[in-house]
Amino acid sequence: MNEPLLPILIVPDAMLRRKARPVAEGDADKVRDLAPRMLASMYAAPGIGLAAPQVGELLRLVVVDLGKDETEREPMVLVNPEIVARSAETAIREEGCLSLPGQYADVERPARVKIRWQELDGTKRETEADGLLATCLQHEVDHLDGVLFVDHISALKRNMLLRKLAKEQKLKARD
C-alpha cells in the first residue's frame, strides 16, 4: 500500500470538534480516494482506527483494522456508520487516540454495540461487536460527532491529560 499519507490533526485543532456530514452519492469518488489513504495513514501512525475528521474531512467515514500485524490485516471501511443499539452492560478499556498522541485513559463505554454502515460499493452492513472492536467503533463514531475519548473521563483527568499533551507538543515544536 503506497498511498500518500494524510496529516493527522492534533488536539486542540477545531476541526476535531465539528460534526461530520453524511457521505452522499456525489462524494463517491472522494471517499474511494480517501479511504485507502486513511488506512495507509492509520497504519503508519500506527493506530487501529481513524475517522475522516481527524484528517480534515468532515465526512462520516471511518477506517478500522484490529489485525495483529501487516500479515494479518483486516481493514474495515465504514461509510455513514451509526450505532443502532448499545448494551446496558459496560466495560472499561484503556483508550488512546492518534489526535492525542501518547495520551491514554481508562474509558467506560457500553460493552457491546450493534452498528450499521455501508461499504464503499454501497452494500449495507450491520454487525454486533464486543471487546476491543466495540470500543474502537464507538471511539471512531464519536469522532464523527466532534467527541473525543477525553470527553468520557472526569474533568480533572481530562485537563491533566490535555495540559500534558500541550506541553509535549510545545517541546516537539522546538525540536
Listed as ranges, residues in the chain with pLDDT below 50 are none
DSSP per residue, the chain: --PPP-PPP-TT-GGGGSPPBPP-GGGHHHHHHHHHHHHHHHHHTT-SEEEGGGGT--BSEEEE---SSGGG---EEEEEEEEEEE-SSEEEEEEEETTEEEEEEEEEEESEEEEEEE-TTS-EEEEEEEHHHHHHHHHHHHHHTT--GGGGS-HHHHHHHHHHHHHHHHHHHH-
Instruction: Choose, from 72, 94, 128, 140, the residue flagged as catalytic.
Output: 140
Assess whether 25 carries a catalytic annotation: no
- Domains of the chain, first to last: 14-174 (3.90.45.10)
What pLDDT digit, counting tens, does each position of 78-107 carry?
A: 999 999 999 999 999 999 999 999 999 999
